[in-house]
Amino acid sequence: MMNSKLKVFATNLVIFLLLSSKSFYAQNIMTTDSKTEKKEIAFILFDDYETLDVFGPAEIFGRLVDKYSLKFYSLEGGVISNRHKVPIMTEKLSTANDAPYMILVPGGLGTRKEVTNELLIDQITALSNASDYVLTVCTGSALLAKTGLLDNKEATSNKRAFSWVVTTGPKVIWDRTARWKIDGKYYTSSGVSAGMDMSLGFLADRHGIDFARNVALEIEYNWIEDKDNDTFKAK
């Protein structure tokens, strides 16, 4: 009789311990998940930026609402208009996260003016140093080059504006044939639509090629996966 009761007790104890361990494990997973924060991507805007340089990557990263949060900043904040006169509300750049996961600097005609804007260049320098990754699209690489952070690093830019861009960073190792370049945490792309290819390339580097291809499929975009060979050639 005693042996029978001991067996029942032992069986119940094992079941209790198993259920307790599973409950603890599930609770641990939930706690870990709840602490997972979205990674901030800070878009740095200025008047006369190129439309697709911003909204192409924004479409790609913005679809991943569980992974990334998108913020739009400008030097003084308020409404910024692109070269097509599409207004967007921005936050003041000085209020940006001290260490965003990524910053993205677009190109456009406005870069010709902004390369001499020391306040903006200083802000880009500080945020670039603090962030995990820095992405530029088109002539946005000219603004990054002015910070000196691309010195002795490989980079590329809009092929139609290449001769101007290289003057902003004579110590940069400019690649005249790449669709986009990667050097450490710095990603630089060629013109306009190349920013979308680079953004998908960034996702492939972080989450795998199949993940990136699935995002491209969702937006029905024909992703150019070859980063080393641009269709467009520098003049």
Tens digit of pLDDT for each residue in 91-106?
999 999 889 999 999 9
**What is the C-alpha separation between 181 and 184, in angstroms, rounded?**
10
Q: Are strands 87-92 and 78-81 parallel, antiparallel or unpaired?
A: antiparallel
The CATH number fitting domain 37-218, selected from 1.10.1660.10, 3.40.50.2000, 3.40.50.880, 3.30.70.260: 3.40.50.880
As a whole-number percent, the residues of the chain with pLDDT over 90 amount to 80
pLDDT score recorded for residue 36: 64
**What is the C-alpha separation between 137 and 100, in angstroms, rounded?**
18
pLDDT level of residue 7 (50, 70, 90 thresholds): low
**What is the C-alpha separation between 14 and 20, in angstroms, rounded?**
10
Query: Do 39 and 67 meet the contact criterion of CB atoms below 8 Å apart?
Result: yes
Structure tokens at 71: 């913020």
Query: 179-182: which pairs have CB atoms within 8 A and are 24 or more residues apart?
Result: 179/224, 179/226, 179/227, 179/228, 179/229, 179/230, 179/231, 180/156, 180/227, 181/154, 181/155, 181/156, 181/227, 182/154, 182/227
Q: How far is CA 223 from CA 93, 124, 172, 197, 216, in A?
A: 32, 29, 27, 6, 6
Report which of residues 98 and 12 the model is more confident about.
98
**What is the C-alpha separation between 80 and 74, in angstroms, rounded?**
8
* 80 DSSP assignment: E
Taking residues 106-121, report their average pLDDT: 97
Put residue 27 in one of left, alpha, beta given phi > 0 → left and psi -120 to 50 → alpha.
alpha
Residue 122 above 60 pLDDT? yes
Mean of the per-residue pLDDT values of the chain: 88
Residue 159 above 90 pLDDT? yes
pLDDT score recorded for residue 220: 97
As a whole-number percent, the residues of the chain with pLDDT over 70 amount to 85
Please tell me the number of Cα atoms within 13 Å of 187 on its side-chain side: 26
Nearest to 100 by CA among 141, 55, 42: 42
